[in-house]
Amino acid sequence: MSVEIKKLRTNFEVRFQFNKALAEFIKNLPKDQQQTKMDFAKRDDGTTFEDWYRVVNEAALSKIIDFIKANNLRFKFTNMEPEDIEKLKKEFTNRQTRGEAALKARAKDLDVSKFEVPNMVIQPYDYQKQAVMFFEKSGGNCLLGDQPGVGKTLSAISYAVKNKLKTLVVCPASLKLNWRNEIQRFTNEKAYIYKYKPKKRSKEIVNTKEESLFHIINYEALETFIKLNVSHTCSYVQCGWKETSTKKKYDVCPSCQRAKSVKSRVLGTIFEDKDGVGLDPKSYDLVVCDEAHYLKNAKANRTKVVKKAFMNVPKKLLLTGTAIKSMPFEFFSLLNFIDPAEWKSAHHFGIRYCAGFQDDFGWDYSGSSNLDELYSRISPYFLRRLKSDVLAFLPPKTFTHFPIELTPEEYRNYAKAEKEVVDETTGETKDADHLSRIQRLKMFTSQVKASRGIEIVQDIIDGDEKVVVFTEYIATAEMIANHFGGKAVLFTGQKSATEKQEAVDKFMKDDSVKVFVGTMGAAGVGITLTVASIAVFIDQPWTPSDREQAEDRIHRASTTSDKVQIIRLICQDTIDEDIISLLNSKEKVTSMVLDATVLDRKVERLQGSIFRDLVKLIIDKKK
């Protein structure tokens, strides 16, 4: 028996005399990769018979050929040139080799002791090196699903730097500056941020596109760069008006004013914003989509824009901490982006892996089924590590500063409030007055950070983690707790002792409660919240000791396996940066004094009045 393979426009036709084993093998392939069809063929005597054959895509054909070879069957291509056949065989071999190598790179006992990432200021941890190796073995098209706090960002950065890949990072707006800071902290490479203009007073040096290995853009801004180039022609012969522009259509001809006379035809896509700044997908070797679950809805415009722009970029890394078990259907869009040949039909995916069923409202893909098979299929390009898997590599506390960029309107309002503080300050101003004025600025940034912080907290709990959120203000705490509803508990000075204890107990014992929101004055001391390993500080307390006390609500040094992540949100070019700077400098002084066993009263005297220092910093910057 010989299997005949014919190349169609996009798929392949497979015909063979009945072979039960081969027929069963093809039947069990994913439904979106194969179809059984029938036509009528003529015998030598002129009679007709039903001739059944299969139409398969490229991903399925590679599996069929593997099966044919393993069972010593013969096959031939009927309408392809030798060089095309050789190219196809090479692609199949490369795919198989990559898959096998990637599976080996996922092994937990993989030795990476000799694996170095050049051009790094700080080397990544061993498990992050393993991720880099996995990226390389999978051909740079994969999904990294590490739990929040494990360090997905550095893994992606290290891979790009090691292989000198011109990289575009697409991320939420709140993470743009964090990506730039991580690149500058860990590497010698430069980063350019699209649509970013630092404030003049920051004196920040902005890198150019040309000199930067990394370019960074947020999902929302990306949509402003992608426009259709459209040709318009009036069909009225005596008019003959023509135009090529980014306008989608004309209902009325601008020249002859005839309705519905303009015929429009899409010529291609322009990647340029309204200011003439270009973004050329062809110039990138790698695109990194951070918080890739933003692309889970295939019908959303954001997902369509990303896929349209970057489907042909050679390498694609998708980063998300969301667990696949929560709703497998949400991962189809990501898998289709990485490997569209392997993951072609959302409907077949929904039936096979999401327990899909049809009711009076249409198809429902919200369930899960055949997960073992799904994990097996995605293993060559999916890597996920839990925080518990990498505890041995982490320090007791990991600190992450998330810079927050104010919108132009927010910054104008902040600058106005800051000017009022300066105008009201004289040499005779008392500490109490300093505090009152500083609080106005601090409360302003707190409200800004609360809205951004909600996104960060949501990403953490989507990764099946609990999180503690600290703020200085009751209004901010209530805003965040109200957003998360029954998933959150609130702990402030306005609560009774009974209510406070109930909040702690629910957070520590109830798996459905994911978020503990507390004010630092009430929740910063005396309670245990060690069920969480991540704390988000919306605001900073006034002293280093208060900051450490709050951090230790989730950290117990006596527990050797206790490793926590402290996230601090900082509004750029505001009082937040001044507070962090002063706290860090006073923390160093305090540490030096304590190490020398000096009395506590000296420590208090050395700390001085942070309020006076803050006002002085603000006034100096205004000069």
Look up residue 72 and give its two tokens. 């010593």
* DSSP 8-state secondary structure symbol assigned to residue 554: S
Q: Is the pLDDT of residue 600 over 50?
A: no
- Residues 534, 460: contact at Cβ < 8 Å? yes
Quick check: 280 pLDDT over 80? yes
Give 575 or 149, the one with higher predicted confidence: 575
SS3 content of the chain, % helix, strand, coil (to 5): 45, 20, 35
Query: What type of residue is 272?
Result: E
Domains 2-80 and 126-223+279-386 share a fold: no
- Spatial contact of 600 and 594, defined as CB atoms under 8 Å apart: no
Between the two ends of the chain, the Cα-to-Cα distance in Å is 88
pLDDT tens-digit readout, 500-530: 999 999 999 999 999 999 999 899 888 889 8
Residue 550 has pLDDT above 90, yes or no: no
- Percent of the chain at pLDDT > 90 equals 35
Q: Taking residues 410-435, what's their average pLDDT?
A: 75
Helix (H) or strand (E) holding 385: none
The DSSP bridge partners found for residue 519 are 471
The ranges assigned to domains in the chain are 2-80, 126-223+279-386, 226-271, 395-622
Question: Could you tell me which residues come within 8 angstroms of residue 348 by beta carbon, excluding any fewer than 6 positions away?
Answer: 30, 31, 32
d(CA 474, CA 480): 10
pLDDT on residue 483: 96
Give the C-alpha separation, 183 to 479, whole Å.
33
- Say what the pTM is: 0.77
Per CATH, the homologous superfamily of domain 395-622 is P-loop containing nucleotide triphosphate hydrolases (3.40.50.300)
* Cα four-point dihedral sign 369, 370, 372, 377: negative
Q: At a CB cut-off of 8 Å and minimum separation 6, what does 615 contact?
A: 421, 425, 429, 434, 437, 438
Alpha-carbon dihedral angle through residues 612, 614, 617, 622, given to the nearest 10 degrees = -100
Q: What are the CB-based long-range contacts (under 8 Å, 24+) for 494-503?
A: 495/522, 500/527
CB-based contact 303:297 (threshold 8 Å): yes
> What mean pLDDT is predicted for residues 415-444?
75
* H-type alpha helices, 472-543: 474-484, 497-509, 520-523
- The closest of 341, 282, 346 to 59, measured between CA atoms, is 341
User: What distance in Å separates the CA atoms of residue 34 and residue 13, rounded to the nearest whole number?
Assistant: 10
Q: Assess contact for 139 and 101: CB atoms under 8 A.
A: no
Locus of tokens 């605001």: 539
DSSP state of 225: G
- Tokens describing residue 248: 């989608």
Q: Check pLDDT > 80 for residue 143.
A: yes
User: What integer pLDDT is reported at residue 283 of this predicted model?
Assistant: 94
Q: Would you say residue 90 has pLDDT above 80?
A: no
pLDDT tens digits, one per residue of 384-407: 888 888 888 888 888 888 899 888
Q: List the structure tokens of 488.
A: 């959150």
Long-range contacts: 86-95, Cβ < 8 Å, 24+? Answer: 91/58, 91/62, 92/61, 92/62, 92/65, 92/66, 94/139, 95/62
Q: What is the pLDDT of residues 296-341, one digit of tens each?
A: 888 888 898 898 889 999 999 999 887 565 578 988 999 999 998 8
The yes-or-no verdict on residue 612 having pLDDT over 70 is no
Q: How much is the CA Rg of the chain, to the nearest whole Å?
A: 30
Of 484, 380, 342, 431, nearest to 611 (Cα)? 431
* Dmax (CA) of the chain: 114
Confidence band of 44 (pLDDT split at 50, 70, 90):
confident
pLDDT over 90 (residue 226): no
Average pLDDT over residues 532-561: 78
pLDDT of residue 9: 79
Looking at residue 326, what is its pLDDT? 59
Residue 423 dihedral angles phi and psi, to the nearest 5°: -65, -30
Q: What is the pLDDT of residue 235?
A: 93
Element housing 428 (H / E): none
Q: In this structure, what are the phi and psi dihedrals at residue 606, rounded to the nearest 5 degrees?
A: -65, -30
Distance CA 204, CA 210 (A): 18
Specify the pairing of strand 262-271 against strand 397-404.
unpaired
Q: Which among 129, 571, 575, 62 has a CA at the least distance from the CA of 383?
A: 129
Return d(Cα 101, Cα 109) in angstroms, integer.
15
pLDDT at 451: 87
CA distance 511 to 464: 10
- Quote the pLDDT of residue 187: 95
What length does the chain have? Answer: 623
CATH says 126-223+279-386 is which class? alpha beta
How far apart are the C-alpha atoms of 460 and 322, rounded to whole Å? 8
Residue listed under structure tokens 């069957």: 73
Element (H, E) at 443: helix 431-462
> In the predicted model, what is the mean pLDDT of residues 364-380?
87
Residue 593 is predicted with a pLDDT of 39
Q: What is the rounded distance in angstroms from the CA atom of residue 12 to the CA atom of residue 34?
A: 9
In the numeric block, the tokens 């206790």 are attached to 562
* Domain 226-271 in CATH 2.20.28: yes
Kindly report the average pLDDT of the chain as a whole number: 84
Instruction: Indicate the burial class of 298 (C-beta count within 10 angstroms; 0-12, 13-18, 19 or more).
Output: middle
- Domain 2-80 CATH class label: alpha beta
Cite the DSSP H helix spans in 106-237: 126-137, 152-162, 176-186, 219-222
Write down the pLDDT at residue 603. 37
